């Protein structure tokens, strides 16, 4: 249970970008989610929106995709990666007035893409927040987390209490 | 309850960056929070860390501050703002193995800084996630939300179920 | 007709960012356009698209708005500006299979926003190009130009052969 | 002639970054051009410029090269790429008072570099616009387009009405 | 001589972006320099270069100007600023085979622009390094420092052992 | 001793990004250093700082690591690279009141990482400057230089008057 298990800290406890030079190139996939909880009225404005709804979610989708590409620029110790696929999708949950965001990132590379997927989901959530905040001050971004990852030495992993 | 209350959509439902040219310059403040839930072991590694803990939270703090400055570059319809103060702080909650992040942004400007504060808190949370993910796959970022804002025409607002 | 009329070059002919410290803060507006010419089939795929069309133009709109905010980061001698409004709109011209992009930028500041509007229109055009290039290799971006500007010492200007 | 030929839209018509993980790494090249049309006086100021001309075109060249590297940050669905060569050149056309910009991008990678070349040419054109706009309000950026591409499954392609 | 004189650290010693909301807007200027020392042969290649020399220094100049605009994106606790003038100049010192870079930044704002000027000089120096490193491995960047600043409460300051 | 040895200039003396498409992928390492000279009082504030010192150097370390990833965005002709390791370390030299910064970058790629290491060291130095400038106006950044590089056709190189 020693400290060195924080791979992003060296033996002196100083942050560094971990050496992945010798890791093998393999196909890496990560799936993450984030939930945005709105009040009923705001949720219905989005859900009933037809074309108009379109632009709220389309904007959040683009923001999420672009943020995945910027991940290593935001998260200090992330490696710069040439992502080969990014996807951001939305599910509307009318009963709980919540929107579920699911992001998927893929790479043929030397390190995993969890942070890219989590960044995509978070920034998509923040974008929905931004577009709705004038009508709903009580918005909550909840449960941002990794659902699944594969590739690399640690293989396939799936959150047990995974997708709702 | 009409659609145009989504200020970020014009009459055709298309996204645009809202006109704030004629808003008066006033002092704007926003405070946001985000919670990161870890397993007990990871939490203790951080909490017991002494100097070593230092670098995890210092890294997350810097990431949050820098992200606040990048907000308009990430969130498509946010206005570019010349923030005059950014602060990111951490509270360790040993019983629940959670870290609470509180961010504060300030500006003398024409529009609010909620999204800047929320982005700072989110990216600080993602950075903690990144630094702990090798030892704890079950991390959860929860309850990212605005706590308080002031300045501008809408005046002071505080979340009722505010600070825990 | 002397060389020093290139305001971006100093007396030695070297590039510099022009001093605008003493210019007065006024409301500045600029409107620009860009035309994208597609083949008939591609144009109809977009025009007939219903919801699906939505995402092509919504993506180009967001790209244009975000690019306006990044203008000073792309164009070496542009001043960094805190834009107060950005708008990007599309007109479909079925007879000529062309899409017209119109961008508008606004600022309360010390210098004009022409380059911001032109950058928004150009990047929106490039984004349409990107989304259609798999089905249409012959796309042409034509006639990117300023239509109108106001604010500052030089006052209102409108292109004579202006909007078609 | 079905909608799915827009590779950047999925089956629901939503934007995504296309999966290129399984494409083979090959040498990709793309050549694009953009034309900037000036009034006679401005053109002559540049063409006669000697050293002074140098800095206008040198600035535009650097702006174009840097923009090629930033392409995936500007165009929402472009893949991040590690370009291995970028070149931006200028031809002065005195009779028509036009400057022709030709850009070339190269990559050993999984996807083409057309958008990188087009972005380089566009941003070089915008930079010339910026540097001349104080003396010439009627500048026009015309005919930004792909001239040639090679590499990948689709092989070599050249615009029929190619280089003037 | 207490610790709190590090204005970028709060009372707990944590980094934050200092509050400048209440500082008055005044004209701020800063001048910085950096020296690049080359071997004789490389220096002469640049000094004798005529047009060809042009592009080395023109490239470094543009890099420096663009870096000044990016300062708050690079230096974690710098405030984002809307610079109103940036200038980067070069002096060739044949006897010592050195190039002196002088940068000047200007702003009507709430905080000083020292870091912007220092960043411009540093990145111009790094760009010269980059362009010469294939012919000269022994390049040295020396003596990057502030020469002069004015504006704000602390008024005018000039380095005593100032300009050589 | 001909001009074309400036590999970043083509035959006409114009800047371009050198073609590295055909270079072989190999493990590249570069180590650089930068020295920051402070007055005695400031140096002691840092050296005596305990936890408080932590945040000055931790901030500079993160700034340096992030800047290495941004190198190709700052230095116009640098290739974009997917760095596989970045490390920034500090040595305190009490007698001379100086801090030595050493940076190391690593890559499996087609071109060297000298500029990435030099950029990391420079930006870490600028960050220390920023954090100390309120208490010490006479700070000097000196001796930024490459110490060692390996990988690629030119093999291993080490500065003769290398590490002090």
Tens digits of residue pLDDT in D14-23: 899 999 999 9
Contact yes or no for D116/D87 (Cβ under 8 A): no
Point out the catalytic residue in the list F10, F19, F22, F130.
Answer: F130
Residues 6+ apart with CB under 8 A from B155: none
Picking from C6-15, D46-55, E31-40, which range would have the lowest pLDDT averaged per residue? D46-55
CA distance linking residue A137 with residue A88, whole number of Å:
25
What pLDDT is attached to residue A5? Answer: 64
How confident is the model over C107-115, as a mean pLDDT? 95
Residue of E16, E113, E118 to mutate for F, most F C-beta atoms under 10 A: E118
Of C16, C76, C110, the CB nearest to E66: C76
Question: Residue E111 — pLDDT band, cuts 50, 70, 90?
Answer: very high
CA distance linking residue B137 with residue F98, whole number of Å:
42
Of D27, D65, D69, the CB nearest to F21: D27
Contact yes or no for B120/B88 (Cβ under 8 A): yes
Chain mean position to CA E141: 12
Per the prediction, chain E carries an average pLDDT of: 90
F1 is in an annotated binding site: no
How confident is the model over B124-141, as a mean pLDDT? 93
Inter-chain Cβ pairs, chain B and chain F, closer than 8 A: 21
Q: Is residue C109 scored above 60 in pLDDT?
A: yes
Min Cα–Cα distance to chain B from C81, Å: 8
What pLDDT is attached to residue C79? Answer: 97
Q: Is residue D53 scored above 60 in pLDDT?
A: no
What pLDDT is attached to residue F124? Answer: 98
CA distance linking residue B41 with residue B37, whole number of Å:
12
Chain mean position to CA D98: 17
Of A69, A81, A82, the CB nearest to D73: A69
> What's the predicted TM-score (pTM) here?
0.95
Q: What is chain A's length?
A: 164
What pLDDT is attached to residue B134? Answer: 87
The residue of chain D with its CA nearest to that of F24 is D108
pLDDT top residue among A137 and A73: A73
How confident is the model over E133-151, as a mean pLDDT? 93
Chain mean position to CA C151: 18
Beta strand spans in E53-117 (E):
85-93, 98-109
CA distance linking residue D125 with residue D64, whole number of Å:
8
> What residues of chain D, 133 to 152, have a C-beta less than 8 Å from chain F?
none
Residue spans of the domains in chain A: they are: 37-150
Backbone angles phi, psi at E33, to 5 degrees: -140, 160
pLDDT top residue among F21 and A4: F21
Contact yes or no for B121/B105 (Cβ under 8 A): no
CA distance linking residue E83 with residue F146, whole number of Å:
32
Q: Is residue E121 scored above 60 in pLDDT?
A: yes
Contact yes or no for C87/D139 (Cβ under 8 A): no
| SS3 state at F25 | coil
Residues 6+ apart with CB under 8 A from B2: none
How confident is the model over B134-160, as a mean pLDDT? 91
Q: Is residue D164 scored above 50 in pLDDT?
A: no
Question: Residue B162 — pLDDT band, cuts 50, 70, 90?
Answer: low
Question: Residue C2 — pLDDT band, cuts 50, 70, 90?
Answer: very low
Residues 6+ apart with CB under 8 A from C111: C20, C23, C28, C79, C81, C152
| SS3 state at F47 | helix
- Residues of D annotated catalytic, as ranges: 130
| SS3 state at B76 | coil
pLDDT in tens, D72-126: 999 999 999 999 999 999 999 999 999 999 999 999 999 999 999 999 999 999 9
What pLDDT is attached to residue A17? Answer: 94
- Please indicate if any CB of chain A lies within 8 Å of the CB of B14: yes
- Of A100, A128, A143, A141, the closest CA to residue B144 belongs to A141
Per the prediction, chain C carries an average pLDDT of: 90
DSSP chain A: --GGG-TTB-TTS-B-B---TTSPPEEEEEEEEEEEE--HHHHHHHHT-THHHHHHHHHHHHHHHHHHHTHHHHSTTPPP---SEEEEEEEEETTTTEEEEEEEEEEEESS--HHHHHHHHHHHHHHHHHHHTTT-TT-EEEEEEEEEEE-STT--EE-TT---
Residue of D4, D9, D138 to mutate for C, most C C-beta atoms under 10 A: D9
> What residues of chain E, 100 to 129, have a C-beta less than 8 Å from chain B?
109-110
Cβ contact B54–F54 (<8 Å)? yes
Structure-token pair, residue F129: 């400057």
Question: Residue E1 — pLDDT band, cuts 50, 70, 90?
Answer: very low
Question: Residue B3 — pLDDT band, cuts 50, 70, 90?
Answer: very low
Strand partners, A148: A31, A158
pLDDT in tens, C26-75: 999 999 999 999 999 899 888 876 545 568 899 999 999 999 999 999 99
Question: Residue C155 — pLDDT band, cuts 50, 70, 90?
Answer: confident
For Cα atoms D66, A75, A128, give the angle at the middle one, nearest 5 degrees.
90
Domain F37-150 has CATH 3.30.70.640: yes
pLDDT top residue among A89 and D48: A89
Picking from A76-90, B13-27, B89-103, D38-52, which range would have the lowest pLDDT averaged per residue? D38-52
Min Cα–Cα distance to chain A from F27, Å: 8
Question: Residue E5 — pLDDT band, cuts 50, 70, 90?
Answer: low
E33 is in an annotated binding site: no
Residue A73 is among the residues annotated as catalytic for this protein: no
Residue of D12, D36, D52, D67 to mutate for C, most C C-beta atoms under 10 A: D52
pLDDT in tens, D30-45: 999 999 999 998 998 8
Chain mean position to CA D39: 23
What pLDDT is attached to residue A50? Answer: 53
Residues A25-47 as b or e (16 or more Cβ within 10 Å = b) = eeebbbbbbbbbbbbeebbebbe
What pLDDT is attached to residue A150? Answer: 94
How confident is the model over B19-36, as a mean pLDDT? 95
What pLDDT tens digit does each residue of chain F (164 aa) get?
344 467 888 878 889 999 999 999 999 999 999 999 999 989 988 887 654 556 889 999 999 999 999 999 999 999 999 999 999 999 999 999 999 999 999 999 999 999 999 999 999 999 999 999 988 888 999 999 999 999 988 889 999 876 54
Inter-chain Cβ pairs, chain B and chain E, closer than 8 A: 50
Cβ contact E51–D55 (<8 Å)? no
Q: For chain C, give the secondary structure using H, E and C.
A: CCHHHCCCECCCCCECECCCCCCCCEEEEEEEEEEEECCHHHHHHHHCCCHHHHHHHHHHHHHHHHHHHCHHHHCCCCCCCCCCEEEEEEEEECCCCEEEEEEEEEEEECCCCHHHHHHHHHHHHHHHHHHHCCCCCCCEEEEEEEEEEECCCCCCEECCCCCC
Of E75, E126, E135, the CB nearest to F119: E126
Question: Residue C132 — pLDDT band, cuts 50, 70, 90?
Answer: very high
């Amino acid at each position: 249970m020693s400290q060195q298990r924080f791979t992003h800290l060296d033996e002196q406890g100083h942050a560094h970008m971990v050496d992945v030079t010798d890791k093998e190139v393999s196909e890496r996939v990560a799936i993450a989610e984030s939930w945005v909880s709105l009040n009923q009225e705001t949720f219905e404005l989005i859900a009933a929106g037809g074309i108009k709804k379109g632009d709220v979610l389309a904007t959040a989708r683009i923001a999420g995709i672009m943020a995945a590409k910027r991940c290593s620029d935001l998260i200090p110790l992330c490696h710069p990666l040439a992502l080969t696929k990014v996807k951001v999708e939305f599910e509307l949950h009318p009963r709980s007035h919540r929107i579920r965001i699911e992001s998927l990132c893929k790479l043929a590379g030397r390190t995993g893409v969890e942070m890219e997927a989590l960044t995509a989901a978070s920034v998509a959530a923040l974008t929905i927040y931004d577009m709705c905040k004038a009508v709903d001050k009580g918005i909550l971004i909840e449960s941002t987390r990794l659902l699944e990852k594969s590739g690399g030495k640690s293989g396939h992993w799936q959150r047990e209490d995974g997708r709702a």
